[in-house]
């Protein structure tokens, strides 16, 4: 059973964070797919498009339990993006929600690239779609420094995100997130801290291409402090 902390994060991802993503990039990636691997906790985005051929992966068992609840027809696997237990299984791999933010050094990025490449079928149409926080624009957006209000599952939430300048170094930054829920005249609050990473586009591409994945499309979304890369086999 997911803890309250996991449920709070799922509400935040579903009702707030997912609106910062470019959904057109997702739908373009999966429009001709037959076997999709979905990595990360933004399960709400997949509820209307996933079918039984999909596999979802998350490292956190509680978030994965929520994924099983939201997507009961798909296979759910607990795994690390740097050590995926798949070999040439998928024609499309979707890694959204800035999973890359938790790859704090280039060694981890390269291991993730190796793992994604191994899971991708050997075919010219095979694709990996991945997003990342953009080093030049993420802190110009309000995503990590804002207050927001939203509703999810009939409850009212507020959040406060803060990332002081002193907590930023070489692309890695410490962000604090406070989530509060009001329901039936009761208020509950959870606090989170995350070390995350932002990238220059060339920096991420260089690490992926060194492991045999070729960048075929770049899409910048500076308004939301992100960029999107699509890769295929070299």
Length of the chain counted residue by residue: 234
**Beta carbons within 8 Å of 226's beta carbon, 6+ residues apart:** 20, 21, 22, 98, 131, 132, 133, 134, 138
**In the predicted model, what is the mean pLDDT of the chain?**
95
Q: What structural domains and CATH numbers belong to the chain?
A: 4-134+199-233 (3.40.50.150), 145-197 (2.20.130)
* pLDDT for the residue numbered 17: 95
Residue 199 burial (C-beta neighbours within 10 Å; 0-12, 13-18, 19+): buried
* pLDDT for the residue numbered 2: 87
Rounded CA gap, 44 and 47, in Å?
5
**pLDDT for 41-97, tens place per residue?**
999 999 999 999 999 999 999 999 999 999 999 999 999 999 999 999 999 999 999
Residue matched to tokens 């800035």:
98
């Amino acid at each position: 059973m997911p803890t309250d902390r996991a449920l709070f994060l799922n509400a935040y991802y579903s009702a707030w964070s997912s609106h910062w993503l470019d959904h057109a990039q997702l739908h373009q990636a999966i429009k001709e797919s037959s076997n999709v691997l979905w990595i990360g906790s933004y399960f709400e985005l997949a509820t209307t498009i996933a079918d039984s051929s999909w596999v979802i992966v998350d490292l956190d068992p509680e978030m994965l339990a929520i994924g099983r609840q939201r997507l009961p027809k798909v296979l759910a696997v607990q795994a690390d993006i740097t050590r995926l237990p798949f070999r040439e299984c998928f024609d499309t791999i979707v890694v959204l929600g800035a999973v890359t933010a938790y790859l704090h050094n280039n060694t981890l990025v390269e291991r993730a690239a190796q793992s994604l490449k191994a899971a991708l079928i050997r075919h010219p149409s095979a694709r990996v779609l991945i997003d990342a926080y953009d080093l030049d624009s993420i802190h110009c957006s309000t995503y990590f420094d804002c207050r927001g209000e939203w509703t999810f599952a009939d409850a009212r939430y507020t959040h406060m995100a803060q990332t002081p300048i002193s907590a930023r170094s070489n692309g890695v930054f410490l962000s604090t997130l406070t989530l509060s829920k009001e329901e039936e005249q009761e208020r509950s609050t959870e606090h989170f801290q995350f070390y995350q990473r932002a990238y220059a586009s060339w920096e991420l591409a260089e690490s992926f291409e060194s492991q045999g994945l070729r960048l075929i499309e770049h899409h910048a979304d500076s308004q939301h402090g992100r960029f999107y890369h699509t890769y295929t086999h070299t």
